[in-house]
Chain A
Amino acid sequence: MDTTISAIPRKPKDGQIMIEVKHLYKSFGKIHVLQDFNLTLHRQENLVVLGKSGSGKSVLIKCIIGLLKPDKGSIIVLGESVPDLNEEKLDQVRMKIGFLFQGNALYDSMTVRENLEFPLRRHTVNYSQDQINELVAEALENVGLPHTTEMMPSELSGGMLKRVALARTLILKPEIILYDEPTTGLDPVTAREIDKLIVALQKKYHTASIIITHDMHCVKNTADRVALLLNGRCYTEGTYKELENAEDPKIKQFFE
């Protein structure tokens, strides 16, 4: 495996704060998914949230982007308190956030081009057709799939779908990207390609990202900092190296 991509320098911790989650609680009936969860995302940082499946990772980022309402706690994204925003304000914040869904969530009744155009036509900014074409071409170029514009999602392989979904996520040049298990369900080779793409795009556009995963290769390749989600809390955080060398069995179990 190519290890050079993990050699990116760790970003300074005192940069501008992009996302701040404090004392977050979220339950579904009797299932207490998040209990007093805290997290901070700094400018240009790749933060990995590591957790077992079903531990509430998706719930966490869905709260951050406002798809779920937290029971308690504060979520500040780019200076705005997400749970308190009205629809219009929320859209303005969401324009600056990209969200890569675990299952890609490409619109299966639309072509690749229409999928990519959808966010461009939707958010309040008005782009001309030329600008739209340019942005679509650039986005597909970025993910290495320039010739797929007229294809339907059903005609693409798993890895290609992930790339198209990533292109759609990036098309509005977001300041923050939230990745929900970007490598889950892909074969190892494709998964490593996606890792590289995440790192390359982060370098190119200087975005800050939260990457949610339980794939340790992905963590190693992409993380500046790792937060461990356990029993609804942020159990610990540190660099990949720091966690790898930890003696605590609860941390060790992820590295076996």
Chain B
Amino acid sequence: MQFGTNTREFFDQTGKISNFAGRFFSSVAKPRFETAEFFNQCFLIGYKSLALIALTAFIMGLVLTMQLRPSLVEYGVQSQLPVMVGIAIVREIGPVITALIFAGKIASSIGAELGSMKVTEQIDAMDVSGTNPYKYLVTTRVIATTLMLPVLTVLGDAVSLFGAYIGVNIRSVTSFQLFFTQVFQSLSYGDLVPAVIKTFFFGFAVGIIGCYKGYFSSKGTRGVGSSANSAVVLSSVLIFVIDLLAVQITDLLGLN
């Protein structure tokens, strides 16, 4: 999505997306519940992104530790390395990196999948065979992304901390136990809880944007491709916007 082209277009698009998201809330509580499709999507969405998220999380933890060490050594506080890395990972880097990877992987695949279903009239076919396609396709995927991203984030955080542990041990020796004791002692619920809560919103944004872009895809291969592409771009931008809002809110609530 291009913000610059036309202010009116921007507000038009914002209105349409809000409307689309509103439909989610009005349809989610009404039967019939597409339970089988929901579990199928949870599995696919979680499973598809697990390996990628684990890999990037590990590298992030490792690299972050290696980059931070020289500065801490300069001030003579390298013993605080696990604490610094732990806080950075749990509060910010873990949730945001995981969400961005998730957006790249899942928003694009949902956008392309629904987009091609749209242009080949599969969505219309569902409609005429007694299935509400919004409920079957959109509601299930949005709930799945909203619930799976927090789970993936917690897993990603754990892998990332393990990467950090390896990073610490490259230049010095710390026991596994000591490292994690230090990390967990420095962390409070005020660090963990807001960080996990915001990932629900990240997940929701990824699901809604992916579905919206696919559901209203224009005809042709070009249309499907650009749905997938703009789903990733827009949901990534939204992740940062939500992150900014989240930090303001936790600040106001005095949770920092």
- Chain A residues at the B interface, C-beta cutoff of 8 Å: 62, 65, 67, 87, 91, 94-95, 97, 99, 101-103, 105-109, 118-119, 122-124
* B121, A94: Cβ atoms closer than 8 Å: no
* B129, A107: Cβ atoms closer than 8 Å: no
Interface mask (B125-136 → A, CB under 8 Å = 1, otherwise 0):
111111110000
Q: Which 8 pairs between the two chains have the least Cβ-Cβ distance?
A: A119-B129, A105-B125, A123-B130, A105-B121, A122-B130, A122-B131, A101-B121, A91-B130
* B130, A124: Cβ atoms closer than 8 Å: yes
**Shortest CB distance B208–A (Å):** 21
**Shortest CB distance A175–B (Å):** 14
Give the interface centre of B121, B122, B124, B129 by most chain A CB atoms within 10 Å: B129
* B122, A95: Cβ atoms closer than 8 Å: no
Q: Which of B122, B124, B129, B132 contacts A123 (CB 8 A)?
A: B129
Q: Which of B113, B116, B128 contacts A94 (CB 8 A)?
A: B128
**Shortest CB distance B31–A (Å):** 12
**Shortest CB distance A85–B (Å):** 13
**Shortest CB distance A195–B (Å):** 22
* A95, B125: Cβ atoms closer than 8 Å: no
B129: chain A residues within 8 A (beta carbon): 94, 118-119, 122-123
Complex: chain A residue closest to B127, CB-CB: A67
Q: Which of A87, A97, A109 contacts B128 (CB 8 A)?
A: A97
Give the interface centre of B116, B120, B121, B131 by most chain A CB atoms within 10 Å: B121
Given contacts A103-B120, A103-B121, A105-B122, contact A65 B130 (CB under 8 A): no
B128: chain A residues within 8 A (beta carbon): 65, 67, 94, 97, 99
Chain A binding site: helix, strand, loop or mixed by DSSP?
A: loop
**Shortest CB distance B132–A (Å):** 7
**Shortest CB distance B1–A (Å):** 23
Ordered by A's residue number, 11 sampled pairs between the chains whose C-beta atoms are within 8 Å are A91-B130, A95-B130, A99-B125, A99-B128, A105-B122, A107-B117, A107-B122, A118-B126, A118-B129, A119-B129, A122-B131
Per the bound structure, the CA–CA distance linking A87 and B31 in Å amounts to: 13
Per the bound structure, the CA–CA distance linking A118 and B131 in Å amounts to: 9
Chain B binding site: helix, strand, loop or mixed by DSSP?
A: helix
B121: chain A residues within 8 A (beta carbon): 101-103, 105
* A67, B124: Cβ atoms closer than 8 Å: yes
* B120, A119: Cβ atoms closer than 8 Å: no
Q: A99-B128, A105-B120 are in contact. List 19 more A-B contacts (CB 8 A).
A: A65-B128, A67-B127, A67-B128, A87-B132, A94-B130, A95-B130, A97-B128, A99-B125, A101-B121, A101-B125, A102-B121, A105-B124, A107-B125, A108-B116, A118-B126, A118-B129, A119-B130, A122-B130, A123-B130
B130: chain A residues within 8 A (beta carbon): 91, 94-95, 119, 122-124
Complex: chain A residue closest to B136, CB-CB: A122
B117: chain A residues within 8 A (beta carbon): 107
Q: Which of A95, A101, A106, A122 contacts B124 (CB 8 A)?
A: A101
Per the bound structure, the CA–CA distance linking A62 and B124 in Å amounts to: 9
Per the bound structure, the CA–CA distance linking A103 and B118 in Å amounts to: 12
Per the bound structure, the CA–CA distance linking A101 and B121 in Å amounts to: 7
Complex: chain B residue closest to A118, CB-CB: B129
Per the bound structure, the CA–CA distance linking A187 and B128 in Å amounts to: 28
**Shortest CB distance B140–A (Å):** 14
Complex: chain A residue closest to B131, CB-CB: A122
**Shortest CB distance B182–A (Å):** 48
Per the bound structure, the CA–CA distance linking A62 and B129 in Å amounts to: 14
**Shortest CB distance A182–B (Å):** 14
Scan residues 79-119 of chain B and give those whose CB is less than 8 A from a CB of chain A.
Answer: 113, 116-117
Interface mask (B53-97 → A, CB under 8 Å = 1, otherwise 0):
000000000000000000000000000000000000000000000
Q: Which of B122, B124, B131, B132 contacts A108 (CB 8 A)?
A: B122
